[in-house]
């Protein structure tokens, strides 16, 4: 009987495993129902190369301009001893005037080794949690660690802020603008998923240190540019929901053997097979495509092509799929409306809605035709 | 470079040809007795000769070179601020008060050069630009520059020092503006912009979006500084004593990192 790790190594073949990072873990939580992504990630398979081999390369990457912009905004927020950040935290968290102590853990005595920085982070946070009197308030460049699918992943949140109320807050600095107190919902969702991951890792660290994990707040401070200026503003973000979904997803990752048990024993995703063979191998693992995947998963274009080819409702988005619950494909829906498929009692309501929408479309096109004719 | 030399040679050839032509023409005009033409041609000849001189020794130096070398300018800005400061702040102060042209990129190599110079001939210069030292490990603090002649405890960065440093520099900037206006002059727009930018992050230092008032900034920053100053000083003094006792003369200035041992060994 082979262990899950052996199976995963066999799936990857000779290629070197790709490490998880904060982005990939957050993306996992973004689509928890996708077995394909769970297996590929757990096995550490290079999804970009795989997608290229399959002929569906993802035409995105991280833009150097976006990275530079993000870096410069973060520098601005942290400049002059975190002057901007302190002002914002005093406003949002009610930080008192004496709470300004700042520790930078970007390196330990000039040594930036991950293990060392992580140990230092743990020591600093423990000291802060145990001793309120002399504790530090801002921890810059902390390094957290999280075991994901048997591998240790280092995570680096922007700042951890400690408040005298005895709670630790993750501060996330993002360079997308909050205009008129609203921001792009997709960006906020991505930021809250990422922050939830940091909250999760911090809670795990506290648990390991024997400190009450509830001292990590589920409210994250999101710092963004305000309106059209480069002036930072802060809002509190509740990440409880993302945290729950992340927890479920990570427990699924450790329980990856349940998915593996369903797969044929000789399955392999190595790139030395032909694209057709590889595609067949990958299709044995079920995917759950949603249009949102396009912005976070390298395999998205392959999955989309598949979803379209079999007329799956997934390609139309989650809302549509949920509205038409129980129906698998576009053809089935059309059959139902056309009367070819006998409507079962649970489909009666869906049928009613579809007919209603059909009637509205019908009226609309009729009205248009009349307008054109006159 | 070869291309540049080629260009200059072609230019010189043309000019020499023109000069010979002009000389010939002047002789002819003189023989013909046309004085007006002679004067015009001679003026043209002198112009060509000057151009020939310029082409032979082109002036590559830009006209507006600052009078002080970079390290002097950094020293000047740091002396005004009085606390270990980030390169960005040094550049901003230099621009606001000394009309200098120091850029952050020029400062990156500066620290390394200073350390090298000190190691090869210690105390040969009246001062060195060195990193501030962290209170915990006495290692160089990232991106913060200080002057070697400052007392040890001023060069130490404790947990509260980033904030006290910021408040102190805001006070220093405001005081310098007051000094300038008191002497009958006025500070530059950049200086006021810098002060306003700093004041925004000090509670009670500004109202609305207008230009910050130096006197108000000083009193607001002082009010917050009082809260932190005592424990910050205590922290720094402790660390300074440790540094004086344990570090040698190089690491006392440039910091003891965990990497220092391997670096000095190599």
* Same-domain check for residues B21 and B81: no
For A107, name the nearest residue in chain B, comparing CA atoms only: B142
User: Which of the four pLDDT bands, split at 50, 70 and 90, describes residue A3?
Assistant: low
Within an 8 Å CB–CB cutoff, is residue A97 touching chain B? yes
The answer to whether the beta carbons of residues A270 and A16 sit under 8 Å apart is no
DSSP class of residue A228 equals: T
Q: Quote the pLDDT of residue A39.
A: 85
* A246-270 as b/e: b if 16+ CB within 10 A: beebbebbeebeebbeeeeeebebb
Instruction: Provide the mean pLDDT of chain A.
Output: 85
pLDDT on residue B79: 94
Question: Closest by alpha carbon to B87, among B132, B125, B38, B54?
Answer: B132
Which tens digits make up the pLDDT trace of A142-177?
999 888 766 678 888 888 877 767 789 999 999 999
Mean per-residue pLDDT, B15-38: 89
How would residue B80 be classed by pLDDT, with cut points 50, 70 and 90? very high
Nearest CA in chain A to B164: A81
Question: Using CA atoms, how far apart are residues A134 and B231, in angstroms rounded to an integer?
Answer: 10
The token duo for A119 is 């140990």
Q: What is the reported pTM?
A: 0.74
Structure tokens at A76: 């601005």
Instruction: Read off the pLDDT of residues A326-368 as tens digits, 9 standing for 90 and up.
Output: 787 888 888 888 877 777 777 888 888 888 988 999 888 888 8
Same-domain status, B150 and B243: yes
State the pLDDT at residue A129.
84
| Residue B6: per-residue pLDDT | 58
pLDDT at A2: 56
Note whether B31 and B76 are same-domain residues: no
Report whether pLDDT(A99) > 90: no
What local confidence, expressed as pLDDT, does residue A173 receive?
93
**Between residues B187 and B145, which one has the greater pLDDT?**
B145
Domain match, B48 and B106 both: no
Please tell me the total count of domains within chain B.
2
Residue A1 — pLDDT band, cuts 50, 70, 90? Answer: very low
Q: Name residue A144's beta-bridge partners.
A: A155
End-to-end CA distance of chain B: 37
Do B85 and B24 share a domain, yes or no? no
The mean-pLDDT minimum among A15-29, A310-324, B141-155 falls in A15-29
A100 within 8 A of B228, measured Cβ to Cβ: yes
Q: DSSP state, A311?
A: T
Helix (H, G, I), strand (E, B) or coil at B59: coil
The sign of the torsion formed by the CA atoms of A305, A310, A316, A317 equals: negative
Asked whether residue B150 is domain-assigned, the answer is yes
Report if residue B265 sits inside a domain. no
pLDDT value at residue A164? 63
State the best of B90, B162, B172 to mutate against chain A, taking most chain A CBs within 10 Å: B162
For all residues of chain B together, what is the average pLDDT? 85
pLDDT-derived band of residue B5, with 50, 70 and 90 as boundaries?
low
Per residue in B116-145, pLDDT tens?
888 888 888 889 999 999 988 888 888 899
CB B34 within 8 A of CB B26: no
Smallest Cα distance from B216 to chain A, Å: 18
Task: Tell me what pLDDT residue B263 has.
Answer: 40
What is the predicted pLDDT for the residue at A6?
Answer: 79
Contact B258 A110 (CB under 8 A): yes
B122 and B196 inside one domain: yes
Q: For residues A290 and A321, give the distance between their C-alpha atoms in angstroms, rounded to a whole number.
A: 9
Mean per-residue pLDDT for A244-257? 77
B63 within some domain:
no
Task: Kindly tell me if the per-residue pLDDT of B35 is higher than 60.
Answer: yes
In this predicted model, what pLDDT tens digit does every residue of A187-199 receive, in sequence order?
Answer: 898 899 889 999 9
Q: Which residues of A touch B260 (CB under 8 A)?
A: 110
Task: Give which of A353, A299, A331 is closest to A51, Cα–Cα.
Answer: A299
Q: Distance (Å, rounded) from C-alpha B110 to C-alpha B117? A: 11
In a domain, B201, yes or no: yes
pLDDT in the model for residue A325: 78
CB burial class (10 A; 0-12, 13-18, 19+) of residue A231? exposed
* Any domain includes B190: yes
pLDDT of residue A231 exceeding 80, the answer is yes
Domain boundaries, chain A: 4-59+256-310, 64-249, 330-373
Q: Rounded to a whole number, what is the distance in Å from the CA of B85 to chain A's nearest CA?
A: 8
pLDDT at B173 over 90: yes
Please indicate, yes or no, if residue B208 is contained in any of the structural domains. yes
Question: What range does the domain containing B25 cover?
Answer: 2-56
The pLDDT score that the predictor gives to residue B262 is: 38
- Which pLDDT belongs to residue B66? 59
Residue B61 lies in a domain: no
Could you tell me which residue, A67 or B10, shows the higher pLDDT? A67
**B88-124 pLDDT tens trace:** 999 999 988 887 778 888 787 888 888 888 888 888 8
Gap from A110 CA to chain B (nearest CA, Å): 5
Confidence of residue B160 (pLDDT cuts 50, 70, 90): very high
pLDDT value, residue B258: 60
């Amino acid at each position: 009987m082979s262990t899950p790790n052996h199976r995963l190594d066999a799936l990857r073949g000779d290629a070197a495993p790709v490490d998880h990072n904060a982005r990939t873990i957050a993306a996992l939580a973004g689509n928890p129902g996708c077995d394909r992504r769970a297996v590929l990630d757990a096995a550490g398979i290079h999804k970009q190369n795989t997608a290229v081999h399959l002929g569906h390369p993802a035409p995105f990457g991280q833009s150097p301009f976006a990275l530079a912009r993000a870096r410069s905004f973060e520098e601005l927020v942290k400049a002059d001893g975190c002057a901007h950040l302190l002002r914002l935290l005093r406003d949002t968290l009610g930080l008192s005037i004496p709470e300004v102590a700042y520790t930078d853990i970007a390196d330990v005595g000039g040594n930036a080794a991950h293990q060392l920085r992580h140990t230092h982070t743990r020591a600093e946070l423990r000291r802060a949690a145990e001793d309120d009197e002399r504790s530090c308030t801002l921890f810059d460049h902390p390094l957290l660690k999280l075991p994901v699918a048997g591998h240790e992943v280092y995570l680096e949140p922007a700042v951890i802020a400690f408040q005298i109320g005895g709670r630790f807050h993750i501060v996330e600095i993002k360079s997308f603008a909050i205009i008129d107190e609203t921001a792009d919902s997709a960006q906020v969702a991505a930021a809250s998923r990422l922050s939830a991951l940091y909250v999760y890792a911090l809670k795990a660290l506290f648990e390991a240190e024997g400190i009450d994990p509830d001292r990590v707040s589920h409210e994250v401070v999101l710092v963004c540019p305000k309106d059209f200026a480069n002036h930072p503003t802060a809002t509190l973000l509740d990440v409880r929901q993302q945290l729950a979904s992340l927890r479920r997803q990570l427990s699924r990752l450790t329980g990856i053997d349940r998915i593996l048990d369903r797969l044929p024993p000789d399955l392999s995703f190595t790139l030395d097979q032909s694209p057709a063979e590889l595609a067949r191998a990958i299709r044995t693992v079920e995917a759950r495509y949603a249009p949102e995947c396009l912005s976070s998963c390298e395999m998205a274009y392959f999955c989309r092509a598949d979803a379209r080819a079999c007329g799956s409702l997934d390609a139309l988005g989650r809302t549509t799929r949920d509205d038409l619950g129980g129906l698998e494909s576009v053809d089935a829906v059309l059959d139902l409306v056309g009367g070819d498929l006998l409507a079962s009692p649970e489909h009666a309501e869906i049928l009613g809605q579809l007919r209603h929408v059909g009637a509205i479309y019908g009226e609309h096109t009729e009205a248009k035709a009349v307008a054109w004719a006159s | 470079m070869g291309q540049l030399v080629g260009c200059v040679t072609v230019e010189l050839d043309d000019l020499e040809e023109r000069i010979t032509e002009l000389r010939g023409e002047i002789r002819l005009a003189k023989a013909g007795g046309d004085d007006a033409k002679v004067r015009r041609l001679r003026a043209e000849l002198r112009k060509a000769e000057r151009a020939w001189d310029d082409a032979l020794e082109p002036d590559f130096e830009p006209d507006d070179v600052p009078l002080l070398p970079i390290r002097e300018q950094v020293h000047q800005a740091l002396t005004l601020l009085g606390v270990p400061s980030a390169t960005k702040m040094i550049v901003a102060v230099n621009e606001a008060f000394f009309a200098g042209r120091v850029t952050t990129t020029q400062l990156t190599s500066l620290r390394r050069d200073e350390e090298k110079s000190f190691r090869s001939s210690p105390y040969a210069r009246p001062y060195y630009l060195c990193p501030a030292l962290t209170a915990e490990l006495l290692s160089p603090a990232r991106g913060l520059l200080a002057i070697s002649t400052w007392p040890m405890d001023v060069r130490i960065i404790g947990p509260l020092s980033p904030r006290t440093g910021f408040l102190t520099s805001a006070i220093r900037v405001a005081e310098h503006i007051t000094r300038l206006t008191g002497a009958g002059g006025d500070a530059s727009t950049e200086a006021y912009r810098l002060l306003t930018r700093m004041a925004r992050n000090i509670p009670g230092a500004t109202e609305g979006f207008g230009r910050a008032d130096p006197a108000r900034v000083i009193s607001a920053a002082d009010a917050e500084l009082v809260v932190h100053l005592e424990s910050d000083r205590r922290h720094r003094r402790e660390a300074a004593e440790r540094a004086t006792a344990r570090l040698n003369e190089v690491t006392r200035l440039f910091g003891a990192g965990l990497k220092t041992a391997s670096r000095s060994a190599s």
